[in-house]
Amino acid sequence: MSRVPLPYNPKILELFRNPKNLGKMKDATVTALAGSPACGDMIALYLKVSDDEVIEKVMFESYGCAANIATASITTELVKGKTMEKAWKVTWKVVADEVGGLPKIKYHCGILSVGALRRAIREFYKMKAKKPSWLPETLTLEEKHALEEEELAKVLSRKLKLAKSVKK
């Protein structure tokens, strides 16, 4: 059976081949993970934050698909040099527009990137024991999506283990 190639636009393909800010950051102020290694869709996001809450440096590692790498890369570009408050306002739709649009079945890749970013921002304020007025109490769509994906990965891995044990 042959696979139909996804209609990725040239910007996604370019960012996939030459992602910006890719790699581990050793001196990160805060790190967040979103997704699960069990299904391969996972992002690690690293932020270096200054005393006046500006993102000085941002890097990511991705274990997902081309759209995952491209959207994570563009997310880092969008928040670099921004205050934490402005970075919080970057939604998955902003990210999707910035990469020139995503195929529908790849929306979740962009949502996951922003989920990781928002987790990192929340973690930063948790570490500082601060609650800025602009930070919502409830989880946003992007954060909920990351949680759902992690739950799904757990269920799948349990089913896989069960199927393997039945085969034995």
Which of these is catalytic: 39, 65, 94, 152? 39
109 in catalytic set: yes
39 in catalytic set: yes
* Residue whose beta carbon is closest to ligand FES: 64
Point out which span in 7-15, 24-32, 105-113, 116-124 binds ligand FES (CB under 6 A): 105-113
Which of 58, 74, 109, 146 forms a contact with ligand FES (CB under 6 A)?
Answer: 109
* Dihedral angle computed from the Cα positions of residues 152, 158, 159 and 163, in that order, rounded to the nearest 10 degrees: 160
Site string for ligand FES, 82-101 (x = CB under 6 A): --------------------
Residues between 21 and 40 that touch ligand FES (CB under 6 A): none
Q: Which residue ranges make up the site for ligand FES (CB under 6 A)?
A: 41, 64-65, 67-68, 106, 108-109
